[in-house]
Amino acid sequence: MTLETRTLVLISAAVVINIVAGQVVRMLNIPLYLDSVGTVLVAVLAGPLAGGLTGLVTNLIWGLILTPVAAAFAPVAIVTGLCAGWLARAGWFKTWWQSLISGVLISIPSTIVAVPIIVFMFGGVTGGGPDYAVAYLAAVGSSILKSVAFSNLGVNTVDKSLTALVAFVVISRLPIRLTTSYGFFAHSRA
């Protein structure tokens, strides 16, 4: 896989967007992540492999410089980028409502990949997003695996839907000559 210079520049900008958004959400203690807007943006414009690479690079850099926990979730970020790119290829980012549905669809494999990481690496608590829901569900008798799975799916569904919608809005506001120059995203403004 060779990437064009403009795709590498886009990936670099997306990594910064991901890390800044993720850090702001953590500092404000919002029970979401919002750390993959850049990943989805790249995936929609440049394809699934560029999206997966964006997720990987984001989490490795973020884990090295700010939040070590982020590096453990690199597989989730890769899956997010791959799924967003495949959905874009299938035409699911042409309207706002398709973008919302895409976010829901992205949340399912993201959750499947995240749950074992959360449970087996971190004992069910990562210091972010759904930890409060995990604690509540565990306190009322649910197993840690079920608690993490249900809470993470709920948070991921909202998070990835919002992420996909934000990426759609940003892309729809970009000049058509820029978005069509990537050749992956079929731009349409309704």
Q: Which domains does the chain have, with CATH numbers?
A: 5-181 (1.10.1760.20)
Is the separation of the CB atoms in 76 and 56 below 8 Å?
A: no
Query: What pTM, to 2 d.p., does this model score?
Result: 0.92
Is the separation of the CB atoms in 98 and 80 below 8 Å?
A: no
Residue 93: phi and psi, rounded to 5, are: -125, 25
pLDDT of residue 183: 65
Angle at 52 between CA 22 and CA 149, to 5 degrees: 60
Residue range 97-133, pLDDT digits in tens: 999 999 999 999 999 999 999 999 999 988 776 788 8
| Across 125-147, average pLDDT | 86
Residue range 15-74, pLDDT digits in tens: 999 999 999 998 998 888 999 999 999 999 999 999 999 999 999 999 999 989 999 999
| Across 147-169, average pLDDT | 95
Where does the pLDDT of residue 88 fall: very low under 50, low under 70, confident under 90, or very high at 90 and above?
very high
